[in-house]
């Protein structure tokens, strides 16, 4: 009798759940179909009736990309040209000039020139403004100019550029460019191996393994893995890199989504290279995504000690999905969780402030989790290092000066004052004073909320034609803000000088020179070496 009763109860419940799912699906389908019909109508009507000629492809590209901006910065549409760039970033290989190209304020600059590649051989330098590529003037060119610098191997590309106010010409012969995931590794003092991992492309784990094995052959008994500035990349490569140090079949990361087909567990598949070698992982505020998977897993599994400053906090996973005509959409499909179960996502994109910016989670919203050995770790705001190093955290003002290229542009001026030097470039106190004068001359502010509010006040006063009445008070506030900015710059003087020096080292000795400089002059690396040499402290942090 009981069995019959159970069947009677279960069947209607199951049937009801399918009915509810069916109704929900129909409602979603209707709403999507309705909105597509409205959009198609608007798009067609505008293109047919607008007073001027319209570019249908450009309008659609803008429409789609702006629509996706409402979700998060990682869900993006790729047109055919974008797809090519995305593939380059993942493989690490392309045919081009071997330089980082940046468009800012309508101008195209070389941000960094890589040693030994075509741009370098042609004599180009960081800070050069590219004004023309072949027959194409970049003055009104709205597309991605870097695509004009790619092509078949041995193709000659003529360019015009401005350096220090002078127009110059160059011919570049395109060649294969390989972007290394591990651009530098070396055996440091006390038998400490040092590996820089700069990105997670298809070759990341292979290059890291090769570096690890070579360092061990050289006599390394300890390893530092430097993930500072690494923006991430391929998730499976993060798992493979963890696999170098942890056992086969160990859980590294879990992904969870509303779409159950994206719910996955990622475990190590191979035998490790070394389960015992003491390991230190260095992160900073620019270590994101796959970098945080590695740092978070190493921390949760108590396999090594994490040092530096809190990582970026990107706990979201994207996947490129193919569309028609060679386009793609890269969609945030899931959140990822470290072995202890924490999601380290810092920004909540479902909640926006009055300016439309995602709200950052506060510390009182973080949840506690336990590592394999029972240590307490937290979610919500990136990977918090086991050993925090104050010098690795950039002050807000320094970060602003890097983002607005004030440090980059002033470093260009310093470089051309002394373009040939022996040894390590230095930045003096006089150079710092000149930098402050440069900021005033160029009217570069730290863009604090107070600065922005003051600008708004003046703009509104001009509209209302009362700027004369508040001129004296406005000037007083402006002077007070200038003093405040100068005090902030002075407070972070050594950090700003350090950033200027690092930029100069890259100009004179390329990126490789900066890594070499780090091995002898970097407090984070020095502290990592000291920790790895102190077996008692290392074991106590990991509760071993």
Give the distance, in angstroms, between the CA of residue 210 and the centroid of all CA atoms in the same chain: 25
Q: What is the pLDDT of residue 86?
A: 61
According to DSSP, residue 384 is labeled: P
Q: What is the DSSP string of 68-87?
A: HHTT-TT-EEE-HHHHHHHH
How far is the C-alpha of 259 from the C-alpha of 257, rounded, in Å? 5
Q: What is the pLDDT of residue 26?
A: 53
Q: Show the low-confidence residues of the chain (pLDDT under 70).
A: 1-27, 81-82, 84-94, 461
Q: Which residues contact 75 (CB under 8 A, 6 or more apart)?
A: 68, 318, 329, 330, 331, 332
How far is the C-alpha of 225 from the C-alpha of 193, rounded, in Å? 9
How far is the C-alpha of 211 from the C-alpha of 195, rounded, in Å? 7
How far is the C-alpha of 217 from the C-alpha of 519, rounded, in Å? 19
Task: Tell me which residue of 105, 124, 107 sits closest to 116, measured CA to CA.
Answer: 124
With residues binned 3-state (H G I as helix, E B as strand, rest as coil), the percentages for the chain, rounded to 5, are 45, 20, 35
According to DSSP, residue 233 is labeled: B
Task: Tell me which residue of 93, 161, 94 sits closest to 123, measured CA to CA.
Answer: 161
Q: What is the pLDDT of residue 12?
A: 46
Q: What is the pLDDT of residue 85?
A: 64
Please give the C-alpha separations between residue 418 and each of 112, 241, 475, in angstroms, as whole numbers: 18, 42, 38
Q: Are 113 and 93 contacting, i.e. CB atoms less than 8 angstroms apart?
A: no
Token pair in block for residue 429 = 């106190």
Token pair in block for residue 103 = 């468009």
Q: Which residues contact 245 (CB under 8 A, 6 or more apart)?
A: 272, 273, 274, 275, 277, 279, 298, 303, 304
Token pair in block for residue 506 = 């890259």
Pairing outcome for strands 387-388 and 305-308: parallel
Per residue, what are the HEC states of 167-187? EEEEEEECEEEECCCCCEEEE
């Amino acid at each position: 009798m009981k069995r019959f009763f159970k069947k009677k109860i279960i069947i209607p419940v199951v049937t009801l759940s399918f009915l509810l799912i069916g109704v929900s699906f129909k409602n979603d389908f209707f709403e999507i179909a309705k909105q597509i019909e409205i959009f198609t109508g608007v798009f067609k009507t505008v293109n047919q009736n607008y007073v001027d000629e319209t570019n249908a492809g450009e309008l659609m590209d803008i429409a789609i990309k702006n629509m996706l901006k409402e979700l998060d910065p990682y869900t993006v549409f790729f047109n055919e040209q974008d797809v090519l760039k995305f593939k380059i970033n993942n493989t690490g290989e392309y045919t081009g000039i071997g330089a980082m190209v940046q468009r800012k304020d309508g101008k195209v600059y070389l941000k960094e020139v890589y040693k030994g590649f075509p741009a370098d051989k042609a004599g180009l330098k960081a800070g050069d403004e590219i004004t023309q590529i072949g027959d194409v003037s970049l003055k009104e060119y709205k597309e991605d100019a870097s695509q004009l610098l790619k092509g078949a191997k041995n193709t000659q590309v003529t360019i015009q550029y401005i350096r220090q106010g002078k127009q110059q010409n160059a011919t570049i012969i395109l060649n294969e460019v390989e972007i290394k995931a591990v651009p530098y590794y070396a055996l440091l003092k006390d038998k400490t191996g040092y590996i820089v991992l700069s990105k997670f492309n298809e070759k990341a784990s292979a290059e890291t393994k090769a570096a690890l094995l070579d360092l061990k052959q050289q006599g390394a008994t300890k390893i530092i893995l430097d993930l500072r500035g690494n923006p991430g990349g391929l998730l499976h490569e993060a798992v493979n890199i963890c696999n170098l140090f942890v056992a086969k079949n160990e859980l590294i990361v879990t992904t969870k989504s509303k779409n159950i087909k994206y719910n996955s567990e990622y475990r190590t598949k191979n035998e490790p290279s070394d389960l015992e070698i003491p390991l230190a992982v260095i992160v900073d505020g620019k270590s994101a995504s796959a970098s945080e998977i590695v740092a978070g897993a190493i921390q949760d599994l108590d396999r090594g000690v994490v040092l530096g400053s809190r990582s970026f906090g990107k706990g979201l996973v994207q996947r490129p999905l193919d569309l028609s005509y060679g386009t793609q959409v890269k969609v945030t499909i899931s959140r990822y969780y470290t072995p202890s179960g924490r999601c380290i996502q810092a920004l909540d994109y479902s909640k926006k402030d009055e300016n439309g910016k995602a709200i950052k989670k506060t510390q009182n919203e973080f949840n506690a989790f336990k590592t394999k050995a029972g240590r307490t770790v937290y979610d919500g705001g990136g990977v918090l290092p086991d050993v925090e190093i104050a010098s690795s955290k950039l002050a807000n003002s320094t970060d602003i000066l890097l983002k607005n290229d004030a440090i980059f542009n002033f470093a260009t001026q310093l470089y051309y004052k002394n373009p040939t030097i022996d040894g390590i470039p230095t930045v003096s106190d006089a150079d710092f004073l000149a930098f402050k004068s440069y900021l005033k001359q160029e009217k570069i502010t730290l863009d604090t909320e107070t600065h922005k509010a003051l600008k708004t006040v003046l703009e509104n006063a001009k509209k209302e034609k009362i700027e004369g009445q508040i001129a004296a008070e406005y000037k007083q506030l402006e002077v007070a803000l200038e003093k405040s900015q100068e005090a902030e710059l002075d407070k972070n003087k050594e950090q700003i000088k350090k950033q200027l020096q690092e930029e100069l080292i890259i100009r004179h000795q390329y990126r490789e020179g900066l890594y070499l400089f780090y091995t002898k002059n970097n407090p984070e690396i020095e502290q990592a070496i000291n920790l790895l040499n102190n077996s008692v402290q290392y074991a106590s942090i990991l509760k071993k």
